[in-house]
Amino acid sequence: MSLFEQARNVIAGGVNSPVRAFAGVGGDPVFFRSAKGARVHTEDGRELIDYVGSWGPMILGHADPDVIAAVVETAERGLSFGAPCVLETRIAERVCDIMPSIERIRMVSSGTEATMSAIRLARGHTGRDKIVKFEGCYHGHSDSLLIKAGSGALTLGVPSSPGVPAGLAEHTITLPFNDAGAVQSAFDELGDQIACVIVEPIAGNMNMVPPVPGFLEALRDVCTAAGSILIFDEVMTGFRVALGGAQSMYNIEPDLTTLGKVVGGGMPAAAFGGRAEIMASIAPDGPVYQAGTLSGNPVAMAAGLATLQKLVEPGFFERLGESTRRLAEGLKGAANDAGIPLAVEYAGGMFGFVFTDESEVRRFDQVAAADIDRFRSFFHGMLDMGIYLAPSAFEAGFVSASHGDAEIDATLEAARAVMKTL
């Protein structure tokens, strides 16, 4: 019996998170045994160059020696306390320093928990129920946010999940990403009922879609005018597209920010934070309840802190950005040479590519209309040549500091060969 069949006998769908099941590309998922640097080793004895990086956290590459040392040293002093520890304060200081819009922070264990908590805080703080999100953006799987969502929900064709009570869904207003006019209209009609706008400032769960000039500025302006809270979901983009996240690239200060992935350095840690006056509404200072047994877990804090310490080293993001640029431009060049239209995006250590005739992709409907069959063929062709890409046309890709010239060259050589077969 295959490993996937064994898993399917006891795990729902054989996986603990849906995109991993390869439903978006067909075939059985690859089982990983170990990972080091830019490469993963599979249970069937293959070595693959990895551009998923555990869906974003592994910005240094897998099993970075400094992160592993911090984890081991911390674990030996205890796995979980459920009481304050100094590491929580140290990582909080580091994050607040890197992202000045975060004056106070709260650590949690997953990106879903961070966004769910930020939404509750926004509702509790403003006394309003309605929230605005954007089609194709994904903010984890809490009820209010699983409406026209991206990522696995989009990949599996269930962007609005059954199980979300209609009474709750009616408070979620879903608008087209990058459409400032639609946002203005919604606020003209309902502005005094809108608790918050939540947005991925660079969308990464419908492939990678940057904001058009003026879009994030418009969100900032309508929220300020209406007394609504602007939440940047930087679970994916934080410490990834730039040290200070997308908010530093576009120079917009959100009221709240959600973080995950890189902030945990590969351990289950995430966070939400922002203006002190808003964060004061969270218990125990305020009435909005939020809690977690494993929140601020010392081993996760150690991994996150050791990771962030390496990101602030001079030149880190310049080197990472150059590797990503070489990869993305190389993919485009390989497609051009094969006569295949491809749109690419990249920033810092994040990239996306869409098989489309459009010269650039800025809207959800453009992503939805892309050539998914061609993506599937490309994915499997690359996998056969030892390159592991995200198994969905709707996910972004990630480059780490461990992806050197050897890995990028090998990837582009494979891409040139595979593009010719599409």
Q: Which residues bind ligand HOZ (CB under 6 A)?
A: 17, 19-20, 55, 151-152, 205, 395
Nearer to ligand HOZ, 203 or 216 (CB): 203
End-to-end CA distance of the chain: 32
State in angstroms the smallest separation of the CB of 417 from ligand HOZ. 28
State in angstroms the smallest separation of the CB of 17 from ligand HOZ. 3
Indicate if 357 belongs to the active site: no
Q: Which amino acid belongs to residue 392?
A: S
Indicate if 388 belongs to the active site: no
* Tokens 């928990």 -> residue: 113
State in angstroms the smallest separation of the CB of 191 from ligand HOZ. 31
Catalytic-role residue among 138, 250, 346, 388: 138
Q: What angle do helix axes 316-337 and 298-311 make, rounded to 10 degrees?
A: 80
84: nearest Cα among 289, 246, 297, 232: 297
* Tokens 């309902």 -> residue: 190
DSSP for 181-215, written as a single string? HHHHHHHHHHGGGEEEEEE-SSB-SSS-BPPPTTH
Indicate if 261 belongs to the active site: yes
237: nearest Cα among 275, 208, 197: 208
Nearer to ligand HOZ, 20 or 36 (CB): 20
Beta-bridge mates of residue 106:
272
State in angstroms the smallest separation of the CB of 52 from ligand HOZ. 9
State in angstroms the smallest separation of the CB of 260 from ligand HOZ. 10
Beta-bridge mates of residue 354:
343
The count of other CB atoms within 10 Å of the CB of residue 264 is: 25
Buried b / exposed e over 410-421, threshold 16 CB at 10 Å, is ebbebbbebbee
Find the helix or strand (DSSP H, E) in which 322 lies. helix 316-337
State in angstroms the smallest separation of the CB of 314 from ligand HOZ. 30
Q: What angle do helix axes 215-226 and 180-190 make, rounded to 10 degrees?
A: 10
Nearer to ligand HOZ, 53 or 244 (CB): 53
Q: Which amino acid belongs to residue 54?
A: S
SS3 of 227, please? coil
The distance between the two most distant Cα atoms of the chain, rounded to a whole number of Å, is: 61
> For 104, phi and psi rounded to 5 degrees?
-135, 145
State in angstroms the smallest separation of the CB of 112 from ligand HOZ. 9
State in angstroms the smallest separation of the CB of 354 from ligand HOZ. 16
CA 155 to chain centre: 15
Q: Among the residues of 32-103, which ranges form H helices?
A: 65-75, 86-98
Nearer to ligand HOZ, 124 or 349 (CB): 349
Nearer to ligand HOZ, 3 or 385 (CB): 3
* Tokens 């939440």 -> residue: 231
Catalytic-role residue among 261, 332, 346, 388: 261
Catalytic-role residue among 50, 64, 233, 371: 233
Question: Distance (Å, rounded) from C-alpha 50 to C-alpha 39?
Answer: 5
Nearer to ligand HOZ, 141 or 332 (CB): 141
SS3 of 386, please? coil
R_g over Cα of the chain? 21
Nearer to ligand HOZ, 2 or 16 (CB): 16
Which residues are marked as active site?
A: 138, 233, 261
